[in-house]
Amino acid sequence: MPRRDLPGILWLPAAVAVLLLALPLVALITRVPWTRAGALLAAPESLSALLLSLGTALAATAAALVLGVPLAAVLASSDRWPTPARRLLRAAVTVPLVLPPVVGGIALLLLLGRQGLVGAPLQSLTGITVPFTTPAVVLAQTFVSMPFLVLAVEGALRGADPRYGIVAASLGASRWHAFRRVTLPLVAPGLVSGAVLCFTRALGEFGATITFAGSLPGVTRTLPVAAYLGLQTSPDSAIVLALLLLAVSVVVLVSLRDRWLRVGA
């Protein structure tokens, strides 16, 4: 819509929306104890949470790549499937995007907990328990973040020119070889965008993590969990950790501005 055709009545609610979105962030930035920010970030509990978050988010991103890229390929080629099967698969991928994270944590607990559908026989057979461990953090982060990668890669696959794969097949390449050497390089920008979004979402995951993995220092206490708990004991530390998470989110949004949000400069 041309700017001159924009009804004047829209400007007021638009301004209120901008204030609603921006003012909380302004409040956060203005309350940062800048003189102590470095020391607070360097505190042992903050460093522990930061290193744990980075490690688990990277592991969750790796798991999402291994599992999500094949799933995206299946989704991109599912147009010829029966409609109910296609809709069911689509729902399985997209539900974590709209599901409250704490519900995801409860679902994981009911699946892998000591009395869970899989957790109970797993413990009885192997003695292994998953909840409240570092792998539980990775599972929770993968559950909530993998759909971002899947949808990004699926969109890239749907937009890729299929003629390159046809040419590769005509030259004798197997389906796997053509997918690995032709299709994946074509969708590399979408793959990178999805991986970065997946990592960022995993880094900021809170609800499913604290429900399924708890908040054990050095084991499951990630940055968001540490920031939440810090509000009760060390508000300044919580603010600094929140600022760090905000900074990561802003960097990601800026770097993916044209590729993911499709916003022109």
In whole numbers, what is the pLDDT of the chain averaged over residues? 85
In a domain, 229, yes or no: yes
Q: Residue 187: pLDDT band by 50, 70, 90 thresholds? A: confident
- Nearest of 123, 189, 124 to residue 156 by alpha carbon: 189
Residue whose token pair is 């993911």 = 260
pLDDT in tens, 28-39: 999 999 988 888
- Nearest of 54, 44, 29 to residue 243 by alpha carbon: 29
In a domain, 4, yes or no: no
Amino acid making up residue 129: T
- Residue 6: per-residue pLDDT: 72
- Residue 228: per-residue pLDDT: 92
- Residue 265: per-residue pLDDT: 38
- Residue 250: per-residue pLDDT: 83
Average pLDDT score over residue span 164-186:
67
pLDDT in tens, 198-256: 999 999 999 999 999 999 999 999 999 999 998 888 899 999 999 999 888 888 777 76
- Residue 264: per-residue pLDDT: 38
In a domain, 208, yes or no: yes
Answer yes or no: is pLDDT of 118 > 60.
yes
- Residue 3: per-residue pLDDT: 55
pLDDT in tens, 147-163: 999 998 988 888 766 66
As given in the structure block, the two tokens for residue 209 are: 């993590």
In a domain, 103, yes or no: yes
Q: Please give the Cα distance from 75 to 89 (Å, whole number).
A: 8
Q: Residue 172: pLDDT band by 50, 70, 90 thresholds? A: low
Average pLDDT score over residue span 175-179:
68
Number of independent structural domains in the chain: 1
Q: Please give the Cα distance from 186 to 252 (Å, whole number).
A: 22
- Nearest of 149, 81, 143 to residue 112 by alpha carbon: 143
Classify the C-alpha dihedral 157-160-166-171 as positive or negative.
negative
- CATH no. for residue 198? 1.10.3720.10
Contact (CB, 8 A) for 72 and 147? no
This prediction has a pTM of: 0.85
- Residue 162: per-residue pLDDT: 64
- Nearest of 203, 167, 200, 206 to residue 183 by alpha carbon: 167
pLDDT in tens, 85-105: 878 888 888 888 889 999 999
In a domain, 2, yes or no: no
In a domain, 26, yes or no: no
pLDDT in tens, 51-77: 999 999 999 999 999 999 999 988 888
Chain centroid to Cα 95, Å, comes to 14
The percent of residues above 70 in pLDDT, for the chain, comes to 86
In a domain, 12, yes or no: no
- Residue 167: per-residue pLDDT: 63
- Residue 131: per-residue pLDDT: 93
Answer yes or no: is pLDDT of 165 > 50.
yes
- Residue 20: per-residue pLDDT: 93
Range of the domain at 211: 37-255
In a domain, 156, yes or no: yes
